[in-house]
Structure 1
Amino acid sequence: MNVQLRLSGDPEQIEVMVKVLAVVFQLDGSGQLFTNRGSPGVRCYLTARIPHRYDRSEQTEPDPDR
């Protein structure tokens, strides 16, 4: 399961939010910051994915290390 994210705010706020999201999700994206048009701050785009071992919507093989 993938979800597209758009984060907008101050660069420091985005950096903190990405670190928090990375605790739960696998994140993909360039991490490139773009200047917001018509509002202050910057934005970035990411794809968040639930790690396979926690995603119950996909069939996975049993974990042999358990």
Structure 2
Amino acid sequence: MESTTRKLHNLKTVSALLDMSAPTIYRRIKNDPNFPKPHLVGGNNFWTDAQINDYIERIESGCYSS
């Protein structure tokens, strides 16, 4: 049986990766349907590596503005 490991990013890391403040990220979660929704784990928000990479790729390709 093969298991896959997913890297999870917390708010601080996502903030650095996207160059956005925490309040901006929370506004995006609430108001931007294209922004990746976090996974709640132990009362904390986490995003997968794939979610963040996909979001960055869509912004860079011009699919929508950041």
Regarding TM over 0.5, the answer is no
Q: Which has the larger radius of gyration?
A: 1
Higher relative contact order (CA 8 A, sep 6+): 1
Higher strand share: 1
